[in-house]
Amino acid sequence: MNIIILLQWMLGFFLFWRRNEIQESYDFDKDKRISVIIPARNEEKNIGNLLGSLKNQSIQIDEIIVVDDQSSDKTASIAKSFGVSVLQLKDLPDGWIGKSNACWNGYKFSTGDILIFLDADVTLSKNAVKSLLKVHQKYGGLISTQPWHNAVRVHEKLSAMFNIIAVMSMKEFSAIGFELKPIGSFGPCLVCSRKDYETSGGHEKIKNSVVDDVAIAKSFMKSALPVHNFLGGKLITFRMYPESLKSLVEGWTKNFATGASRSNPLFFLMIFLWISGYMNIIIYMNKISLAFYAFLYAVYAFQFYIFSRRVGNFGVISALFFPVHVFFFVFIFVYSLIRTFLFRNVDWKGRKIKTGGIS
């Protein structure tokens, strides 16, 4: 069993070998019109930070569009105070998921040659847009970025394992990721040309998908358009679910079971085996010598620290208490399976979203 636990630990480095961060660019020559589209629902605590960072970019953004998805707070008024375009939606059409509907309406309102879709909880460094455009110029197709998670409050630290697994599941960050097509994309930050967006069918094509980031990447690849995923590093950051533990549970419940059901079976198995290694550290603690147990615990904590610092500021304490993260992840995953496949709905921002179950 000791050898198996070590092999499971090594499997983690295979799954998350490549960092693949967006590199800061200073020399991009803008030659196309840029539209930033921000779907927002009850984001009064976040939208100001994002818009402030967009106004401070080192490159001119031709239009910024906030699509207010029936917010009950001050999202729209705060956005208007920044002098950006605010598109207020009146209803959610049948068969649509809220975010996809907001993105689609933002696209129809926009005029840019390059479209940048940003979640409202994202914050950008001064050269972030320039760096994203440089990467898109090089690769084309769909460029997505997983922002670095600025976890401030204690409950926000519980997102560490989810962020790590979200990156691992993409395949591109594995030791052989440069040879593999990704399973999806990262929803908080997407960049593409208007032409490619229209070719793929855009968000209308995936209007009823709960896990829109997986669906839109597959839509691009089915249209023979490349998809490339990156980590945001210190250029692109976000705070996920800062409001409360409830919002964190709802958010990850919405994403994880459905996303797992659409993941690559081999990578799903490898991630399961890797997580099982962390669980074995606790399960077999009374069946191995104290010295060897201390060694195993230390190397697993070290690995958790290495991986978690790539995706956010989760810190040394989170790494030392990695069993808390593992069991919280397992709880949310099981709960998500129940909501997704048994009850066939999940809660998110005051709406019940139908998941469709297994079908």
Range of the domain at 228: 34-242
Same domain (yes/no): 85, 218: yes
Same domain (yes/no): 171, 135: yes
> E strands, the chain, where?
34-40, 63-69, 85-89, 114-118, 122-124, 142-146, 148-149, 189-193, 227-231, 236-238, 345-348, 351-354
Residues 164, 242: contact at Cβ < 8 Å? Answer: no
Q: What is d(CA 341, CA 355) in angstroms, rounded to the nearest whole number?
A: 8
- Beta carbons within 8 Å of 139's beta carbon, 6+ residues apart: 226, 228
Write phi, then psi, for 333 (nearest 5 degrees): -65, -45
Residues 104, 207: contact at Cβ < 8 Å? Answer: yes
Q: Nearest 10 degrees: CA dihedral of 184, 188, 192, 198?
A: 80
Same domain (yes/no): 228, 327: no
Residue 122 domain flag:
yes
User: Which of 175, 209, 242 is the last residue before a domain boundary?
Assistant: 242
Residue 231 domain flag:
yes
Q: What is d(CA 66, CA 334) in angstroms, rounded to the nearest whole number?
A: 35
Domain total of the chain: 2
Helix, strand or coil for residue 22?
Answer: coil
> E strands, 17-162, where?
34-40, 63-69, 85-89, 114-118, 122-124, 142-146, 148-149
Write down the pLDDT at residue 355.
66
Write down the pLDDT at residue 260.
59
Q: What is d(CA 149, CA 234) in angstroms, rounded to the nearest whole number?
A: 10
User: Which of 242, 268, 293 is the last residue before a domain boundary?
Assistant: 242
Same domain (yes/no): 208, 328: no
Residue 306 domain flag:
yes
Residue 110 domain flag:
yes
Write down the pLDDT at residue 288.
75
Same domain (yes/no): 281, 152: no
Residue 250 domain flag:
no
Residue 320 domain flag:
yes
Helix, strand or coil for residue 2?
Answer: helix
- Beta carbons within 8 Å of 306's beta carbon, 6+ residues apart: none
User: Which of 208, 242, 276 is the last residue before a domain boundary?
Assistant: 242
C-alpha atoms less than 13 angstroms from C-alpha of 239 in its C-beta half-sphere: 15
Write down the pLDDT at residue 326.
94
C-alpha atoms less than 13 angstroms from C-alpha of 18 in its C-beta half-sphere: 18
Write down the pLDDT at residue 164.
96
Q: pLDDT of the chain along its 359 residues, tens only?
A: 678 889 999 999 999 999 999 999 988 888 999 999 999 999 999 999 999 999 999 999 999 999 999 999 999 999 999 999 999 999 899 999 899 999 999 999 999 999 999 999 999 999 999 999 999 999 999 999 999 999 999 999 999 999 999 999 999 999 999 888 999 999 999 999 999 999 999 999 999 887 889 899 999 999 999 999 999 999 999 998 888 898 898 888 877 655 655 678 899 899 999 999 999 888 877 777 888 889 999 999 999 999 999 999 999 999 999 999 999 999 998 888 888 777 777 776 666 767 654 33
- Beta carbons within 8 Å of 100's beta carbon, 6+ residues apart: 203, 204, 206, 207, 208, 209, 212
Same domain (yes/no): 238, 92: yes
Beta-carbon neighbour count of residue 12 at 10 Å?
23
Same domain (yes/no): 226, 98: yes
| Residue 105: CATH number of its domain | 3.90.550.10
Write down the pLDDT at residue 349.
67
Residue 59 domain flag:
yes
Same domain (yes/no): 6, 68: no
Same domain (yes/no): 228, 347: no
Which long-range contacts (C-beta less than 8 Å, at least 24 apart) are formed by 294-300? 296/2, 296/5, 296/6, 296/9, 299/6, 299/9, 300/9
Residues 21, 232: contact at Cβ < 8 Å? Answer: yes
Q: Nearest 10 degrees: CA dihedral of 332, 336, 338, 342?
A: 170
Same domain (yes/no): 69, 137: yes
Same domain (yes/no): 151, 96: yes
Same domain (yes/no): 38, 187: yes
Q: What is d(CA 239, CA 237) in angstroms, rounded to the nearest whole number?
A: 7
Residue 350 domain flag:
yes
